[in-house]
Amino acid sequence: MTDKTVYDLIIAGAGIHGAAIAHQAVSNGLSVLVLEQYDRAARATSGRSSKLIHGGLRYLESFNFKLVRECLLDRQRLLEQYPDLVRMRRFFIPIYKNTNRSRFTINAGLTLYGLLGAGGKYSRHRKIPKKDWDALDGIKQDELLAVYQYWDAQTDDAKLTSRLLQEAQAPNKGPKAEVIFNASVEMCERNGDKLRVKYLQEDVPVVAHGRHFINATGPWVNDTLAKCKPSVEGLPVDLVQGTHLELPGQLKKGIYYFEAPQDKRAVFAMPWYGKILFGTTETVYRGDPAEVKPTMLEESYLLTIFNYYFPDNPVERTDVISSWAGLRVLPSSEASPFKRSRDTIFHKDDDNDPRILSIYGGKLTSHYSTAEKLLKLLR
């Protein structure tokens, strides 16, 4: 490509959103350039999620039926499209004497969840008979009142993101997306319907020209907007970190959905490449997104919950195989991060003729719908 190339879309960020938008844009015949500051896709949030492709059972509590329904439809699409990367798993919800949500609430929630998932065998949930409880990977039996099992899906988030990007680079027909790693966007200047995007590639400044600039830089969204001219005001957000621990041991039956005894948050224990993935947390983060890492407090919080629910196989800090933190982009608010909206927000530089579009928040699960809506907005 020469300097004269004018891309339909210049996308900053090769996380799930950047990859999904590139994927759909090329299949609509658009020319696309993706610029990623790191050396590969999904090195930030999209490789540090809980790896669940789900409707989000807990969003039913905030009556966000639309979000749940949309995510369940996206789940179905992903199961059909990427059966090697997205798989249905059994999810178990144990209810103890001190669990906040009652058996009635869980049962009603799972019934509604099944209905929103539009039927089929994966819409049904069941109560596990007491005689089978001791086969449940050693979960605490003391004060256990009931265990419900339902279905949801799990993926490898980094592989899914990379797959979308690879497909965008080698589509069956139409133009190929150009993807440049180690390319950090430094400036985006709009002049009418034309955009000049300056990026540093291995410290060398390069300029690309485009018709639209998509800011899919996740937790860097406002930093990237601050590099746009004329200046565009971003939305007030909090970055909320979520930590996962990789622990020794195996979960043979499926994924466990626990309620943290300390604060009643949802915490998952998941099988992960022959180990256990345990998370997550919600800690407001104020530093550089590139520097986010698990805190000691988060590790102790998660280990306390793990040892509470798996009393026969306690783990200590020295047993932790690895740990990492990712950042959620949530609307600024006094409310606890757990209660804040998880809706995806599109921000436009100009309501009538948007050329610089930024994505705030979102879910791994709903990347297809998000990309679809964004492209519709451009049309």
Interface ranges with ligand FAD (CB under 6 A): 12-18, 35-38, 43-46, 49-52, 184-185, 216-220, 224, 242, 280, 326-328, 359, 362-365
Helix segments in the chain, DSSP class H: 16-27, 65-81, 103-116, 157-169, 221-225, 296-309, 367-378
* CA atoms of 73 and 374, how far apart (whole Å): 18
Nearest distance from C-beta of residue 354 to ligand FAD, angstroms: 18
**Residue 366 CB contacts under 8 Å (≥ 6 apart), including other chains:** 67, 70, 71, 74, 344
Comparison of 305 and 359: residue with beta carbon closer to ligand FAD: 359
Comparison of 271 and 362: residue with beta carbon closer to ligand FAD: 362
Nearest distance from C-beta of residue 161 to ligand FAD, angstroms: 7
Q: Find residue 191's DSSP bridge partners.
A: 194
Residue nearest to ligand FAD (CB): 15
* Contact predicate 75/55, CB 8 Å: yes
Comparison of 149 and 370: residue with beta carbon closer to ligand FAD: 370
CA quadruple 224, 371, 14, 299: dihedral positive or negative?
positive
Nearest distance from C-beta of residue 186 to ligand FAD, angstroms: 7
Nearest distance from C-beta of residue 107 to ligand FAD, angstroms: 23
Comparison of 18 and 254: residue with beta carbon closer to ligand FAD: 18
* CA atoms of 200 and 22, how far apart (whole Å): 21
Comparison of 190 and 328: residue with beta carbon closer to ligand FAD: 328
Nearest distance from C-beta of residue 39 to ligand FAD, angstroms: 10
**In the 8-state DSSP scheme, what is residue 92?**
E
Q: What are phi and psi of 209, to 5 degrees?
A: -115, 140
